[in-house]
Every structure is written in C-alpha cells, then in structure tokens.
Chains A and B, each alone.
Chain A
Amino acid sequence: MEEKILELERRIKQLEATKKKDQLSMVIFSGELDKLLAAMIIATGATAMDMEVKLFFTFWGLSALRDKKKRAQKKELTSKMFGAMLPKGTSEVKLSKMNMGGAGLAMLKSLMKKKNVASLDDLLKTAGELGVEINICEMSMGLMGFSKDEMIDYPGLNYCGVGTYLADAEESTVQLFI
C-alpha cells in the first residue's frame, strides 16, 4: 500500500513537471527584418494575452542581438571575418524578399512609420519591459563567432543549450519556429 502511494506521488510529480502552461516558446532562427518583426510582434502580443514568453535565438537570428556600439575583445581571424560579413544589430538587418539593394527596405521602413508600426528596436525594448525571456543558443554563439560582450543590454539575457529550449517548448501551449 505504502509503496503504491509512493509510486503515485512520483508519477504525479513527473506529470506536474511536464504540465502545459499558458506559455509561448519560439525559436528565432532567421536574421531578416520581416521575419524578426513578425516574431517580436507575436512575442509582445503574447504577453498582452497574459502568456509567458520564452524566445530561443539561434543561428542568423543572433545578428539582431548584436550591439552596434560594442566591440568584441579578442577574436580569432575567421570569427572576425564572419562577424564583419554579418549584420550588426537591428539597423543592419535586411528583408527576406524585395530588399532590392536596400530600396525595398527603405520603403518598408517608411511605410512602418506612416502606419505606426513599431520598429524592431522598439519591439525589443518593449519585450524587455514586459518580461519576455531571451535565451541565446550558446553553440550558435561559438559558431557565428559572436562574443557575449558584443550583445545588446537586455534584461534577462540567458545563454543556454537546446535542452533548455526543449524543456521550455514541452511545457508551452504554443510553439513556433521563425
């Protein structure tokens, strides 16, 4: 009898650990303005819907989180080269379609202003204020040759691995990949 109760208690604990929460978990893989905008609008919108939001930035998505004003210390030559070829921060990311050498990008930015759509910078700032958690894939950081001292100041910027993302995704009612 006692053994059965202990077994049940163990199983309940297990179930509670994987219970779904009112939470959004999203992988941000892309490094283009249109995709990043969509991701951040969904993320901030989700907080309005009272969901907890956990973002996992990986690969090209990381470019948007680089601070244009910060300089990385001590980098290998290949990392330096790779870093120089990739966009540095929100002001340098391009469009995935109709970029047209920057003309399409400029058109979209001017339309966004006209239609009161928040900029990517504003959305990141709002996300920080609303408690959107940003988790950065440590492996991608190494691969892209980015260092922690060149990332933006953001409340609760965490560095982790795929396990953290999976644990977050498992307990989320909504999961997305952009």
Chain B
Amino acid sequence: MSQEELTAIQADKVVDARGTACPGPLLAAKKAIAEITSGQVMEVLSADEGTKKDIPKWATKKGHEYMGTVEESGFFKIYLRKA
C-alpha cells in the first residue's frame, strides 16, 4: 500500500501505545485486536522503533494482514487488517 493510501485509511480502532516501551505496544496491539471483528482495520501508534518490526512479525504469525506503516515526527502509525 502506498503512503497516500495508508494516510487515507479510517481505522476501526486506534490504539495509542506511545507511552510505553517494548513490549508495551505489542501487548496493547494483542489486547485491542480482540475487540474488533474480522476484516476491520486497526491503527497502532507507537514511539518505539522496535515495534515497526515486531508488529508485522506478530501479524504474520497470527494471519492478520500487515498493511503498512506511516512515519510521523517521533512516532509511527502501523496499520493492520484482522484475519
């Protein structure tokens, strides 16, 4: 997905995990994905560099679709579609 397409996404759930370091964002993502239904999109906000790699790995393992990451100043917006 291109950055423009990602920026245009209206997520069904936004998880703000910018206040925690590893493994906080991953734990927050795992908890939140249980609250949406299959096909819905989740946006994870994280200020932790490691999360950029961790979330796609976790998503692949669980079969969710990793859509892409948008970099803002000082944090990341990571998009996922629930399987």
B36 CB–A CB distance under 8 Å? no
Indicate the size class of the contact surface on chain A: 10 to 19
A80 to B40, CA, bound (A): 58
A62 to B14, CA, bound (A): 39
A130 to B61, CA, bound (A): 19
A44 to B54, CA, bound (A): 14
B9 CB–A CB distance under 8 Å? no
A45–B61 touching, CB < 8 Å: no
Name the distance in Å between B29's Cβ and chain A's nearest Cβ. Answer: 7
Q: Mark B7-40, 1 if CB is under 8 A from A, else 0.
A: 0000000000001111110110110000000000
Q: Which of B19, B22, B58 contacts A49 (CB 8 A)?
A: B58
CB neighbours of A118 from chain B (8 A): 20-21, 24
Q: Which of B23, B29, B58, B62 contacts A44 (CB 8 A)?
A: B23
Besides A48-B27, A48-B58, 10 new A-B residue pairs in contact (Cβ under 8 A), listed by A number: A41-B23, A45-B22, A45-B26, A47-B27, A49-B61, A50-B30, A50-B61, A116-B19, A116-B20, A126-B27
